[in-house]
Amino acid sequence: MKIRFPTRVTLRSLTVSMESGVKIVADKASKVFFGKWNYVSRLANIEVYDGGEIRFGDRIFFNKNFSVVSRYKITIGNDCQFGPNVCVYDHSHSYGEDVPISKQGYHGAPIVIGNNVWIGAGCFIKAGTTIGDNSVIGANTLVINDVEENSVICNKVEMLLL
């Protein structure tokens, strides 16, 4: 595990486990909060910049190669499961034709993932979305709109294969 700026990472208890290759980066104005009984599998990437905040609830499992990056705010409730290769980003690059892309900055909005949510392998969660409690997001699904509580959302290709 590699933590840059460890004073900006808060563990609510010593029951947070991390496998090898986990990277946590928080810049000067940003914070990461871990709840109780969080398990982060190998090669996970947790980054927070520009005064952003990430809050993890209790009893969360992150499978390998999970990536969460915040410049605003990401909140994940209790009892959530994340499959491998899931990406949660609360921002996107701004784009205009008169300025080089590398100098255009970012825009975005907070993400809220409720309690008891299962997000399948290869999903992408877009800025500004809310996933309600007790929901399941099928593998390889792009979440670009809010998901109501007690919902099951699947990629159309996945539905054809079932």
What's the CA gap between 23 and 43, in Å, rounded? 7
Query: Position of tokens 């080089």?
Result: 100
91: annotated active-site residue: no
Query: Position of tokens 């009893």?
Result: 59
**Quick one: pLDDT at residue 20?**
87
**Quick one: pLDDT at residue 8?**
60
**Quick one: pLDDT at residue 11?**
60
DSSP state of 18: E
Please provide the average confidence, as pLDDT, over all residues in the chain: 88
What's the CA gap between 95 and 37, in Å, rounded? 40
2-153, superfamily in CATH?
Hexapeptide repeat proteins (2.160.10.10)
Query: Which among 4, 93, 101, 146 is annotated as catalytic?
Result: 93
- Higher pLDDT pick, 96 / 152: 152
Q: Domain-by-domain residue ranges, the chain?
A: 2-153
Q: Is the pTM of the predicted complex or chain greater than 0.95?
A: no
> Please, are residues 10 and 32 in contact by the beta-carbon 8 Å criterion?
yes
Residue 21 tokens, joined = 């290759």
Which residues are bridge partners to 61 per DSSP?
A: 39, 81
60 pLDDT higher than 90: yes
